[in-house]
Amino acid sequence: MILTVTVNPSFDRTIDLAEPLQHGQVQRVSHSTQEPGGKGVNVSRALQAAGCATLAILPGDAGDPMVEALGAAGIPVECVPVGASIRANTTITEPDGTTTKLNEPGAPISPDALDGIVDLVARRSAAASWVVLAGSLPPGAPADFYARIVAAIRQRAARDGVSAPSIAVDSSGDPLSALLSSGETVDLIKPNGEELLAVAGALGEPVAGIPVDDFEADEAQVVAVAQSLLSPTLGRVLVTLGSRGALLVSEQHVLAARAPVIVARSTVGAGDCSLAGYLLATERGAAAAEALAQAVAHGAAAASLPGSTVPTPDLTHPGDIVVSHRPRVVAGRR
């Protein structure tokens, strides 16, 4: 079972336009959808669509429309009551796949509710092979909250005399920097190019001023920066690069996979589906190259679907993804 934790979930509405967005104008909507969202929730949705056991943990009250929508979709979910509605995010998608996101900050979470989340995750992690910590933190949560959850998971496993689950993190900014600086062990992080640059800079790497587009186009530079984050407490970096594919960097290997050519309909949740594809493959015993191929195939399939729709396995084609070994660029610095 793969456990996902989404501390700042959202009820996501996606609006598809028939024509490019015109600022200040009235436009007709060709299609709209509303799905339970937030990075971890999207991972659980993609895993459930592939027949993989999952449990989504999030803050939310019984009867909240998003919690009810998860139940209606057959996604196992456990919530910590917070006495506030789950936020709503809106994504506007143009015909060429360009997306504009309007994300609400989320309701503040009390210290008691944060304690409840930590306790619930630690208890449920005993039955998990992976725990996924994903997304931003809501107002009221300290930057080191993910580090606190990781510590609780490992302390619980040590107390019970069992192996702790593997831990994957898909976050950015201060929460990710605080986690990587905490000394807590994480098995995988999944940044995109912009997030990788930001966390490397926050941890002291000389990356200031590098344009994101130039960075993502320079594979060797992406590898070097990803390698700079590797340490005894961080095992792997899965870097998703949109239409350029993805890289998997560890002390053992550097693997690159090119994305297939698709007609992009919406990139909402594509990175989350990439992580789900990777975890799905590893759950089924795949080697690193196969897991990377499944990650890219899942992400591409998601981007070809409307809104935040997650792909079923028949829509992914990992056998078509070419995975290549790349040389190491620099040794990890920590």
Catalytic residues, by residue number, are 272
- What is the distance between the alpha carbons of residues 261 and 278, in angstroms, rounded to a whole number? 20
- Please say whether the beta carbons of 151 and 129 come within 8 A: no
- Please say whether the beta carbons of 168 and 191 come within 8 A: no
Closest-CA residue to 233 (of 186, 196, 191): 186
Closest-CA residue to 184 (of 157, 161, 202): 157
- What is the distance between the alpha carbons of residues 166 and 3, in angstroms, rounded to a whole number? 10
Closest-CA residue to 97 (of 306, 310, 316, 315): 306
Helices and strands, number each (H, E), in the chain: 10, 14
* Helix or strand run (H / E) with residue 296: helix 288-303
Residue 215's identity, in one-letter code, is: F
Angle, helix 219-229 to helix 193-202, in steps of 10 degrees: 50
* Helix or strand run (H / E) with residue 298: helix 288-303
